[in-house]
Structure 1
């Protein structure tokens, strides 16, 4: 008869840390509007195209904002901060696939982290498919800050390491539109540790 091996299982050590950040460059948000989602679905369902609607800059701008439930406060998807931290981990020698399960950025409400700051309408010329240009109206936060709460497995990663990931994410990756990670000329959505 084979001997039974005893296995000792240590418990998962869940901890939470909140790190305040402040923007060092404006944040540009671009939530998918209901209109854009509807147009995409209509195209996939082979529905007949309706005529082009007249642009409404104010409505287009407001549609790019992530509003919290009260319709006044605004936020940014928590997963955007996590993605930036995971990407920053590659620069620090971490295996990105391993980092994904070590921590989670907790949303303040829904799936959003609250962004503190006033937004304004921003107008940009953009290139879309087939070399065509268009004008986009989006929300921009010239100055902004946020409190990032991270739930993490402290037997795999420390609060200090998370702060370092967030610091590098704010410098090298950013969040939102025109961030360095997604554009060779991008310099928006950058931030630093505030505390």
Structure 2
């Protein structure tokens, strides 16, 4: 039998670097967190639980408060006074870090800058589940169509002026810091984050790297 030659496989050391990136909003950011009530209704439907007759009275302020991603100081009383006190106590808000990464990766792929989404998903990661959004949210009222074209009024939080600062870890052997910054700029212009974002045909949630 022929003798197999031993082959040496060279695996280069991974070059992980860290960078702090600041994003500044170019258009208002509309929040869209699922409320506990909405999640329960979806679960009840999937579990084939019997529906209760009628609907609860709409509470605009509660809907507004529940639409926000609270990092801390979320008020127990979902009222205007409860919200005002939370702001006075230094309430902090966030947005899923995966949304920022998805915007960058998707924009890079759709514009032809990157060959696929898989390689970019593995090239960098944003620290933490949420990125803090700096700014004061206001209540926004929108008319929407749901189900079979039924009209509804939605009350959500909107940051008219906002910015975010986060730490990103990246594989410098796969992507440079300059390329990463350009990717986030592309994501902020072509995709954005939140409701009615640019990726979905809207003009909200757009941003750039400062």
Identify the TM-score tier after normalising by the shorter chain: over 0.9
Distance 1:19 1:56 in 2: 37
Task: Trace 1:1-195 onto structure 2 (pairs within 5 A).
Answer: 1-50=3-52, 51-71=54-74, 72-90=91-109, 91-94=111-114, 95-107=116-128, 111-182=129-200, 184=201, 186-194=202-210
Q: Matched residues in 1 for 2:55 and 2:41: separation?
A: 11
Q: In structure 1, how many angstroms separate the alpha carbons of the residues matched to 2:58 and 2:73?
A: 27
* Structure-1 separation of matches of 2:50 and 2:69: 30
Residues of 2 paired with 1:57 and 1:70: CA distance?
A: 20
Normalising by structure 2, what TM-score? Answer: 0.87
Deviations 1:3-59 (A, max 9, x none): 211122211111111111111100001101000000001111111111300000000
Q: CA deviation at 1:114?
A: 0.3
CA distance in 2, matches of 1:23, 1:117: 10
Superposed structure 1 runs of 4+ greater than 6 Å apart: none
SS of structure 1 residue aligned to 2:157:
strand
1:181 is paired with a residue whose SS is helix
TM-score, length-scaled by structure 1: 0.93
Q: Counterpart of 2:9 in 1: which secondary structure?
A: coil
| SS in structure 1 at match of 2:188 | helix
Deviations 1:59-103 (A, max 9, x none): 000000001144320000000000000011121420222211111
Show structure 2 runs of 5+ residues with no match.
Answer: 75-90
Comparing 48-57 with 73-82, which one deviates more in the overlay?
A: 48-57
Q: How far apart are the structure 2 equivalents of 1:76 and 1:124?
A: 20
- CA–CA distance in 2 between the matches of 1:145 and 1:166? 14
| Secondary structure class of the residue paired with 2:55 | coil
Instruction: Specify the SS of the correspondent of 1:148.
Output: strand
Mapped partners of 1:16, 1:100: distance in 2: 16
